[in-house]
A and B are shown apart, each in its own frame.
Chain A
Amino acid sequence: MKLGWLKEIIVNNWPMFIRGAGVTLYISIIGTILGSFIGLLVGIVRTIPMPERGIKRIILKIVNGILSAYIEFFRGTPMIVQAMVIYYGSAQAFHLDMNRAVAAIFIVSINTGAYMSEIVRGGIVSIDKGQFEAAAAIGMNHIKTMLHVVLPQVIRNILPATGNEFVINIKDTSVLNVISVSELYFQTKTVAGNNFRYFESFFVACVLYFIMTFTVTRILRAFERKLDGPDNYTMMGNQMQV
Chain B
Amino acid sequence: MEKVIDIQHLSKSFGAHEVLKDIDFSVDKGEVICIIGSSGSGKSTLLRCINLLEKPSGGKVTYKGKNILDNKHDIYAYRTKLGMVFQQFNLFNNHNVLSNCMVGQLTVLKRSKEEAKAVAMKYLKVVGMEQYVNAKPRQLSGGQKQRVAIARALSMEPDVMLFDEPTSALDPEMVGEVLKVMKELAKSGLTMLVVTHEMGFAKEVSNRVVFMDKGVIAEEGNPEQIFNNPTESRTREFLSRVLNAK
Which residues does A use to contact B, with CB under 8 Å?
Answer: 128, 130-131, 133-141, 144, 148-149, 152-153, 156, 229, 232-240, 242
Contact = CB atoms under 8 A, between A and B. Distances in A.
Given A233-B136, A235-B131, A242-B128, A140 B107 contact: yes
B233 interface: no
Contact of A134 (B90, B133, B136, B139): B90
A134 B93 CA distance: 11
A236 B92 contact: no
B113 to A, nearest CB: 14
B76 A139 contact: yes
A140 B90 contact: no
| Residue among A138, A144, A239 having the largest count of chain B Cβ atoms under 10 Å | A138
Interface string B87-115: 01111111110000001100111000000
A207 B173 CA distance: 60
Contacts of B107: 140, 144, 148
A149 B91 CA distance: 10
Interface stretch (B4-12, B28-36, B78-86, B196-204): B78-86
B149 to A, nearest CB: 8
Contacts of B96: 233
Interface of B is mostly: loop
12 contacts: A133-B53, A134-B84, A136-B79, A137-B153, A138-B83, A138-B152, A140-B104, A148-B103, A148-B107, A149-B92, A233-B139, A236-B130
B133 A236 contact: yes
B131 A134 contact: no
Nearest to B96: A233
B79 A139 contact: yes
B89 to A, nearest CB: 8
A138 B93 contact: no
Nearest to A239: B131
A233 B134 contact: yes
Contacts, number: 88
Contacts of B95: 149
Interface in B109-161: 109, 128-136, 139, 149, 152-153, 156
B76 A141 contact: yes
A237 B136 contact: no
Nearest to A240: B131
B1 interface: no
A115 B79 CA distance: 36
B94 A138 contact: no
Contacts of B177: 242
Interface in B47-88: 51, 53, 76-80, 82-84, 86, 88
Interface in B152-186: 152-153, 156, 177
Nearest to B156: A138
A233 B132 contact: yes
Contacts of A135: 92
A229 B95 CA distance: 11
Nearest to A144: B107
A237 B86 contact: no
